[in-house]
Amino acid sequence: MAKVSKQNLKKKIIKKVFPKEDIRKLTKLVSGKSFDLFIMGIIFANAIVLGMMTSETLNLYFDRGLFLLDRLFMGIFIVEMFLKLYALKKGFFSSGWNIFDLVVVGVSTVPVASGLIVLRTFRLFRLFKYIHHSSKMNNIVQMFIDLIPAFVSFLAVFAVVFYVYAIMAVMLFGDVFASFGDLGSAMFTLLQVFTLDGWASAIARPIMLLFPHAWVFFFSLLLLSFLLVVSFLAVVVRRVVVDVK
C-alpha cells in the first residue's frame, strides 16, 4: 500500500508541476508555423553572424559582441531541442527532420566547436529543413537524396579504377617522378589528370619525354573516367525524365 501511495503521490506532483493543458499548449507551440519561422529567422541571423566572424576587420572591433551573439543563438537552439523533446516525447523521433536537427545541434555544441567555426557552421545546414516550403526546391533536394545510392556506386567504381592506375603509375614512373613516388602522391596526381588541370603540360608531357608510350596510360585513364562520368550522368538524366513523366 505504501508503494502504491508513493506512486500516486508522484503522479499527482507531476500533474501539478506539468499540467496536461500546458503540455498541449507547448506541443502546439513547437509544432506551429510561427515557431518554425522564428527558428528559421534565428538560423538566418546566425548565418550572418558566422559570416561576419570570418572578417578580420569586424573581429577587430566586434569580436566580443559577435561571440556573445553566437552563444545566444546556440542557447536558443538548445532550448528549442529540449522543448521539442519534452513536448513531443517519442513522437520527436518519428520525424527525420527532428533527428537531423538534433544531430546538427549536437555536433555544433561539442566542446571543440567553441574554438572551431567550421563545426559551428553545421548549424546552418538546418536551413535544408525549411526548403520543403518551396515545392521546386524540395524537388531538387529529393532528387539529390534519391541519387545518393547511384553516386555512392559511382564513387566506388571510380575509387577502384584510380587505385589500380595509381599502383601502375608508381611502378611505371615512381622511380623518376616524385609526383608518382608513392601511392598517395600518385592518386593525387591522377586526380589532377582527371580534372584536366594542366595535366598535359605539367604531368603527361614531361613523363612522355622519358617514357614515349606513356600517352597510352593517360589516354586509357581519361577514357575510363569519361565513360564513368557519362554513365553517371545518364543515370541522372533518366531519373529526371522519369520524374517529369
Higher pLDDT, 104 or 10: 104
The predicted model scores a pTM of: 0.56
pLDDT score recorded for residue 239: 76
Q: pLDDT at residue 13 above 60?
A: no
Weakest mean pLDDT among 72-81, 132-141, 227-236: 132-141
Higher pLDDT, 230 or 141: 230
As a whole number, mean pLDDT of residues 120-136 equals 65
Under 8 Å CB-to-CB from 33, ≥6 apart: which residues?
Answer: none
Length, in residues, of the chain? 245
d(CA 102, CA 245): 36
The domains of the chain, with CATH numbers, are: 31-131 (1.20.120.350), 137-244 (1.10.287.70)
DSSP secondary structure, the chain, as one string: -HHHHHHHHHHHHHHHHS-HHHHHHHHHHHTSHHHHHHHHHHHHHHHHHHHHTT-HHHHHHHHHHHHHHHHHHHHHHHHHHHHHHHHHGGGGGG-HHHHHHHHHHHHHTSGGGGT-HHHHGGGGGGGGGGGGGSHHHHHHHHHHHHHHHHHHHHHHHHHHHHHHHHHHHHHHHTTT-GGGSSHHHHHHHHHHHHHTSSHIIIIIHHHHHH-TTHHHHHHHHHHHHHHHHHHHHHHHHHHHHHHH-
Tens digits of residue pLDDT in 17-37 = 556 666 778 888 888 878 888
Q: pLDDT at residue 9 above 60?
A: no
As a whole number, mean pLDDT of residues 173-179 equals 89
Q: pLDDT at residue 2 above 50?
A: no
pLDDT band (50, 70, 90) for residue 8: low
Q: pLDDT at residue 1 above 70?
A: no
Higher pLDDT, 123 or 74: 74
Under 8 Å CB-to-CB from 180, ≥6 apart: which residues?
Answer: 169, 170, 172, 173, 174, 186, 189
Q: What is the 3-state secondary structure (H, E, C) of 175-217?
A: CCCHHHCCHHHHHHHHHHHHHCCCHHHHHHHHHHHHCCCHHHH
Question: Which of 43-47, 114-118, 132-136 tops mean pLDDT?
Answer: 43-47
Q: pLDDT at residue 154 above 50?
A: yes
d(CA 93, CA 42): 23
pLDDT score recorded for residue 14: 47
Q: pLDDT at residue 193 above 50?
A: yes
Crossing angle for the helix pair 183-195 and 214-244, nearest 10 degrees?
60
pLDDT score recorded for residue 117: 56
pLDDT score recorded for residue 137: 66
As a whole number, mean pLDDT of residues 37-57 equals 84
pLDDT score recorded for residue 106: 81
| Cα 7 to chain centroid, rounded | 46
pLDDT score recorded for residue 236: 82
